[in-house]
A = this chain, B = another copy of it.
């Protein structure tokens, strides 16, 4: 298929590479001038689909606005940013009015899996959108969760997953620093807890970053004020209390305000360590 990828950050670039490897004709678009090896020059008017991997709802709205006047009728827009479900529903309506198919398709898995074509995609949209997008999904994803025939459900599941993922990172940091105050060093913590009922996917993935004092950003602190902020906004609109998530969100905001926003998200542990007056590795 002829496809454009909008947004060549660590996720979008890997996804574009996976599409190239699968034999699609791929054009890449990024305001930072990131180059995509194997890219070809495909004008939007000739595209079968567009994959949009931008940072937030405002950027997604801008790109979809441009695509609505440029893609040919029947092309599919895969919207991969983390956005509120209401945004997904509104953009799907906008695409329908422009004769385009819209797949609400937030992604999960990180940059390495993006480059390997092994992402998880939480997708919802009308059957025609799934059908048109299938070759692209095959190239980019190991697992496609089919969450129904209306945009919004994919974004809702992504919000649920992010709520848990962010909360578990903060809980890991809180527990690790608590352990340090009780004489348990982080390396010992990581030997024991992953084999006990207190473990989580995020603990096992991010804990080693603290042990190794390696805060090169695989996923940055600043992701979480954004994504948990989306969760908080949805929760407020729905009138529900989420005190555990709110406590985690507050810690990530503190980390960001302390200048740690560009570091790996495991650096939220530094906020805890400073408050507790203990040293991490």
Contacts and interface: CB of A to CB of B under 8 A. Distances in A.
B175 A163 contact: yes
A240 interface: yes
A65 interface: no
B240 A247 contact: no
A247 B87 CA distance: 30
A90 interface: no
Q: Is the interface of A mostly helix, strand, loop or mixed?
A: helix
A179 B202 contact: no
A157 interface: yes
A244 interface: yes
How many chain copies does the complex carry? 2
Given A168-B171, A171-B167, A178-B231, A275 B189 contact: no
A85 interface: yes
A245 interface: yes
29 contacts: A85-B182, A108-B196, A108-B197, A109-B197, A120-B195, A120-B196, A122-B192, A145-B192, A147-B188, A156-B179, A159-B182, A160-B175, A160-B179, A161-B193, A161-B196, A164-B171, A164-B199, A164-B200, A171-B171, A171-B244, A174-B242, A174-B244, A177-B240, A178-B245, A181-B240, A197-B205, A240-B276, A244-B244, A244-B251
